[in-house]
Chains A and B, each alone.
Chain A
């Protein structure tokens, strides 16, 4: 599996550390009530299909990425930088509960366009393969 790091280009997934849900991007508010806290920390949707998750480019540029991929077809649809895509939230100190921050724009512009290999075009998106019942 390759993850398209906006800074480094498509890299093997083993360069990345998988963290989990983009829910982590919303810091827990200082005065969050218990249910909200519990949901924030532990409650996750388990989606078969298109998901987003957080990956850290540990073996590369150390950028945190939000990756969009499909857990059924295994297609990796894109990745954007966490930093820069976030409307800069204040540190949670003494702030009102932060609404789940959704990134407003598409992928941040990469600083350097990765040099393409002889592969001229990206692979066509795969169709969902036939599933057994």
Chain B
């Protein structure tokens, strides 16, 4: 219930929210957990395996029990810690893992089956009968497994990711972190201070110690005011640093909008990559529980959580409170509760030698043997030094000691070291380069130590950076030693430990860990996987140390010998949507558009992705029933009239210099130094291992000036290759080259009427531009290059203009072509045209093909060396049994598919009998047949043979004739005209 006069919540701002369909009221600054506790809600979830009713255990992000679903407008998020979720007006949350309701959950029947559901039970069950595996066991297990549910819809929330750089990163804004941040920032360093919670202060907020005679709240207000005046200090609240990576890089997750009502422009989270020269880890410590019989009843909470709810949220979590502790720290909690008017029934101190001087009864050597209250603690009883005790209480505040938050120090394969005097693990120094751990996370739990260590580490970090430290005076505050007698678990009635909980989130008991050791899983890594301890969303933050202590007992080893498992990033659950912010849908990759893109889409052309480019597939006309009809028409344009296509996507590289020719002779298999100015030559480029890298045409524009083209998809690859050859082998060449792919828009004009069309556009007559020639021209006052080359097999030209004129030129070309009985053609038609002529693309050049395979072995010049020449001469590369490129024509013209395999007639259709495959297929209107290019063993010697073309995936098995890949016009007269 709410207590007046306490807490940092804003009572002037009431907020209403819904939990499990019921409306409640809280205040701004409340978390869902604190508001529910204020409203007397004790049960907030059902445990994972046994569906036991559970209440809030902690006041922080390490919460294992109070995992809820938050239902929003764009997102439905499971496993949200109610202790971290700040309430906002209209928040809708639901408990998880229960049906039909939290109060009455059918699967609580699991709790009765405990003897059969211990750790690893699924390794020993669900085996018989086999018929039940898929039909019964799997559906049941699937439904029972997992925690929380998903909406099944796409995550439509907004997320961002960002980068930050600083001199000093301070992780945690408790006393140590604030001291470090102020020390560094006052000295002028660039500082980022990250704090996972909504407010700075850390333990100061819950503990409320006196600092310099002032209240902690006042001291914090002054510190915050000073921090606000320092422009070189960025305070990032609600930001959890989740991982430590190489090079001083840290990942962090900032909750930007999760604590507010959703809005279209409000990102939910921002994923940060922070690069810091120096880092100070002030992550504090987390309190740990003690295991005893039924220690998971709602109302059994961590003592520091009880304190947090009192001092931060103004909530008394119960009316009759008892405390259980093995250390001195819990005494303060009891005193504060008493001061606030809460009835404290007694302190159960597990030690025999602690002080009994308190304002409430103190019981030494206390052991709890029995608790009552399945849906909310009612009663505890047990033994102590002088007899027995028995309380009717509704809250038991437990303190089993503190665990320094060493996690980040272990993200680069480091392990923490055991400090026996603290009964805790502490960081190894230098585990992360340039990171220093201070305060509670370093094993020093007093308030004074936090301030002095934080300031000291910052001073040392400043020294490493070459800054002069500014002074920071630690306030006058407590500096008490940490006195603890470890106790991990209390014997339960019958010594069975079956219901003494270690990992609340995955329902792992002391007995489970002991069982693991008994069954031979004695390594901590095995125990973890066998019992699933530490594998839940909380990643064992409350249970790791307790579990390995129990394992140490069970195996007779010491705790340091058992060791810890590997701490891995992320420290906090991180939504993938945040890490991939901006990458959904169209954001996944850049998009590249042609100058003709708009007009293509306006004409209804479906656009296909060619790398990052969009190219038009075909241009449908009204009345055409399917794409094939459109494609056939477009092929007809090129064969009979004139067709126009945008070919700007091909890579274009401008190469200049006195050694340009020599360079081309090195990278191309054939010779380019002999190419006359004004001519274009088809070239083949090999890789260092002798396989074909790419093909293309290169034009000689001048004595020392060439223009190379590459295939669309390989443009970047070829550019990289040229850069490598130049820088590695030809550093002393007089040579410069640059990609001009985007500089020029280029359009193909092909067909019997192409010459007329092109001529009609030029300022001066085209004259006698020979086949494979290049010239410059003026088109409507724009300087253009005109190449006479053909990929269609018809007389063809390509016109290149500066990109900004591309669309205008294209529109002009189209209207002229349409007047001449032709028009646009797209990728489908382009493919058919080139297949009919046996012209290759990277469907053929797939990285396993040699020049010889293509029938182009003669292109590899005998008179000069080139990249890949020697490797191409290896025996296996020229072997006569290699697969040669051939054409294939189904005897009945039937449909065949690329990827189909080729078999000799009568051969068994097995992998070993396959003699080749089809690489490209198109339907040829002029042949009324599908045609293919493919590769066939000794193919060049088998023209005329009938083979089987088989595609089992698509049910194709037809006979086809092997033929020359150039299906018609072998002399090329239509091109050369």
Binding site for B on A (CB under 8 A): 1-2, 17, 19, 24-25, 27-32, 34, 37, 41, 54, 56, 58, 62-64, 74, 76, 81-84, 86, 88-89, 91-94, 117-121, 123-127, 129-132
Q: Are B414 and A130 in contact (CB under 8 A)?
A: yes
Q: Are B731 and A84 in contact (CB under 8 A)?
A: yes
- Residue with the greatest number of chain A CB neighbours at <10 A, chosen from B434, B731, B870: B870
Q: Are B870 and A31 in contact (CB under 8 A)?
A: yes
Which among B720-728, B825-833, B849-857 touches the partner chain?
B720-728
Within 8 Å CB of A117, what residues of B?
Answer: 165
Q: What are the interface flags for B358-372 relative to A under an 8 Å C-beta threshold, 1 for contact and 0 otherwise?
A: 000000000000000
Q: Are A124 and B464 in contact (CB under 8 A)?
A: yes
Q: Are A93 and B864 in contact (CB under 8 A)?
A: yes
Q: Are A64 and B433 in contact (CB under 8 A)?
A: no
Within 8 Å CB of A132, what residues of B?
Answer: 413
Contact of A28 with B864 at beta-carbon distance under 8 Å, contacts A64-B727, A84-B731, A129-B413 already known: no
A-side binding surface: helix, strand, loop or mixed?
A: loop
A29 to B868, CA, bound (A): 10
Task: For the complex of A and B, list the 5 residue pairs with the smallest distance between their C-beta atoms, beginning with the closest.
Answer: A88-B732, A126-B433, A83-B727, A93-B865, A74-B246
Task: Return the contact of B874 from the options A24, A37, A74, A131 (Cβ within 8 A).
Answer: A37
Task: Return the contact of B729 from the options A89, A118, A119 (Cβ within 8 A).
Answer: A89
- Considering the complex, give the chain A residue whose CB is closest to the CB of B431: A129
- Considering the complex, give the chain B residue whose CB is closest to the CB of A64: B727
Give, as a whole number of angstroms, the nearest-CB distance from B583 to chain A.
14
Q: Are A120 and B730 in contact (CB under 8 A)?
A: no
Task: Return the contact of A63 from the options B166, B433, B727 (Cβ within 8 A).
Answer: B727
Within 8 Å CB of A123, what residues of B?
Answer: 247-248, 277, 433-434
A127 to B434, CA, bound (A): 11
Contact of A130 with B415 at beta-carbon distance under 8 Å, contacts A19-B724, A24-B728 already known: yes
Q: Are A64 and B870 in contact (CB under 8 A)?
A: no
Q: Are A91 and B246 in contact (CB under 8 A)?
A: no
- Considering the complex, give the chain B residue whose CB is closest to the CB of A31: B870
Contact of A91 with B729 at beta-carbon distance under 8 Å, contacts A30-B870, A41-B688 already known: yes
Task: Return the contact of B167 from the options A27, A86, A118, A130 (Cβ within 8 A).
Answer: A118
Q: Are A86 and B728 in contact (CB under 8 A)?
A: yes
- Considering the complex, give the chain A residue whose CB is closest to the CB of B166: A118
B430 within 8 A of A: yes
Within 8 Å CB of A129, what residues of B?
Answer: 412-414, 431
B871 within 8 A of A: yes
Give, as a whole number of angstroms, the nearest-CB distance from B190 to chain A.
5
Give, as a whole number of angstroms, the nearest-CB distance from A89 to chain B.
6
B662 within 8 A of A: yes
Q: What are the interface flags for B717-748 relative to A under an 8 Å C-beta threshold, 1 for contact and 0 otherwise?
A: 00010011011111110000000000000000
Within 8 Å CB of A58, what residues of B?
Answer: 716, 720
- Considering the complex, give the chain B residue whose CB is closest to the CB of A126: B433
Q: Are B871 and A28 in contact (CB under 8 A)?
A: yes
Contact of A121 with B277 at beta-carbon distance under 8 Å, contacts A82-B727, A91-B666 already known: yes
Contact of A56 with B720 at beta-carbon distance under 8 Å, contacts A2-B247, A92-B729, A121-B466 already known: yes
Give, as a whole number of angstroms, the nearest-CB distance from A121 to chain B.
6
B882 within 8 A of A: no
- Considering the complex, give the chain B residue whose CB is closest to the CB of A25: B728
- Residue with the greatest number of chain A CB neighbours at <10 A, chosen from B415, B665, B727, B867: B727
- Residue with the greatest number of chain B CB neighbours at <10 A, chosen from A19, A29, A84, A119: A119
Within 8 Å CB of B189, what residues of A?
Answer: 118
B203 within 8 A of A: no
Within 8 Å CB of A62, what residues of B?
Answer: 723
Q: Can you name 7 A-B pairs with beta carbons within 8 Å? A: A34-B874, A56-B724, A74-B246, A86-B727, A121-B464, A124-B434, A130-B428
Task: Return the contact of B465 from the options A1, A34, A91, A120 (Cβ within 8 A).
Answer: A120
A81 to B731, CA, bound (A): 11
A119 to B634, CA, bound (A): 62
A58 to B277, CA, bound (A): 27
B526 within 8 A of A: no
B436 within 8 A of A: no
Contact of A64 with B729 at beta-carbon distance under 8 Å, contacts A24-B688, A121-B277 already known: no
A89 to B725, CA, bound (A): 11
Within 8 Å CB of B869, what residues of A?
Answer: 30
Within 8 Å CB of B430, what residues of A?
Answer: 127
Task: Return the contact of A119 from the options B167, B727, B874 (Cβ within 8 A).
Answer: B167
B6 within 8 A of A: no
A108 to B518, CA, bound (A): 63
Q: Are B730 and A91 in contact (CB under 8 A)?
A: yes
Contact of A130 with B413 at beta-carbon distance under 8 Å, contacts A41-B689, A74-B246, A121-B465 already known: yes
Given contacts A83-B727, A120-B467, 18 further A-B contacts (CB under 8 A): A1-B246, A27-B688, A37-B874, A41-B871, A56-B723, A74-B247, A83-B726, A84-B731, A119-B165, A119-B277, A120-B277, A120-B466, A121-B277, A123-B433, A125-B433, A126-B433, A129-B413, A130-B414
Within 8 Å CB of A88, what residues of B?
Answer: 731-732
- Considering the complex, give the chain B residue whose CB is closest to the CB of A76: B247
Contact of A27 with B412 at beta-carbon distance under 8 Å, contacts A1-B247, A37-B874 already known: no
Give, as a whole number of angstroms, the nearest-CB distance from A111 to chain B.
15
A26 to B166, CA, bound (A): 42
Within 8 Å CB of B688, what residues of A?
Answer: 24, 27-28, 41
List CB contacts (< 8 Å) of B645-693 with chain A.
Answer: 662, 665-666, 688-689
Q: Are A83 and B466 in contact (CB under 8 A)?
A: no
Within 8 Å CB of A82, what residues of B?
Answer: 727-728, 731
A72 to B346, CA, bound (A): 55
- Considering the complex, give the chain B residue whose CB is closest to the CB of A56: B720
List CB contacts (< 8 Å) of B417-439 with chain A.
Answer: 428, 430-431, 433-434
A76 to B246, CA, bound (A): 10
- Residue with the greatest number of chain A CB neighbours at <10 A, chosen from B167, B246, B466, B716: B246
Give, as a whole number of angstroms, the nearest-CB distance from B664 to chain A.
11
A25 to B165, CA, bound (A): 36
Within 8 Å CB of A127, what residues of B?
Answer: 430, 433
- Considering the complex, give the chain A residue whose CB is closest to the CB of B414: A129
Q: Are B434 and A86 in contact (CB under 8 A)?
A: no
List CB contacts (< 8 Å) of B832-876 with chain A.
Answer: 864-865, 867, 869-871, 874
Q: Are A32 and B870 in contact (CB under 8 A)?
A: yes
A101 to B729, CA, bound (A): 10
A123 to B190, CA, bound (A): 15
Give, as a whole number of angstroms, the nearest-CB distance from A84 to chain B.
7
Give, as a whole number of angstroms, the nearest-CB distance from B249 to chain A.
8
Within 8 Å CB of A76, what residues of B?
Answer: 247
A25 to B285, CA, bound (A): 53
A76 to B864, CA, bound (A): 40
A24 to B868, CA, bound (A): 12
A84 to B732, CA, bound (A): 9
Q: Are A37 and B870 in contact (CB under 8 A)?
A: yes
A121 to B724, CA, bound (A): 33
- Residue with the greatest number of chain A CB neighbours at <10 A, chosen from B167, B415, B433, B720: B433
Contact of A131 with B731 at beta-carbon distance under 8 Å, contacts A17-B720, A37-B871, A123-B433 already known: no
A28 to B866, CA, bound (A): 10
Within 8 Å CB of A91, what residues of B?
Answer: 662, 666, 729-730, 865
A1 to B246, CA, bound (A): 6
Contact of A64 with B434 at beta-carbon distance under 8 Å, contacts A2-B247, A28-B688 already known: no
Give, as a whole number of angstroms, the nearest-CB distance from B835 to chain A.
33
Within 8 Å CB of B870, what residues of A?
Answer: 28-32, 37
Q: Are B865 and A30 in contact (CB under 8 A)?
A: yes
Give, as a whole number of angstroms, the nearest-CB distance from A104 to chain B.
13
- Considering the complex, give the chain A residue whose CB is closest to the CB of B866: A93
A124 to B415, CA, bound (A): 21
- Residue with the greatest number of chain A CB neighbours at <10 A, chosen from B466, B662, B732, B867: B732
- Residue with the greatest number of chain B CB neighbours at <10 A, chosen from A29, A91, A93: A91
Give, as a whole number of angstroms, the nearest-CB distance from B433 to chain A.
4
Within 8 Å CB of A121, what residues of B?
Answer: 277, 464-466
- Considering the complex, give the chain B residue whose CB is closest to the CB of A30: B865
List CB contacts (< 8 Å) of B372-431 with chain A.
Answer: 412-415, 428, 430-431
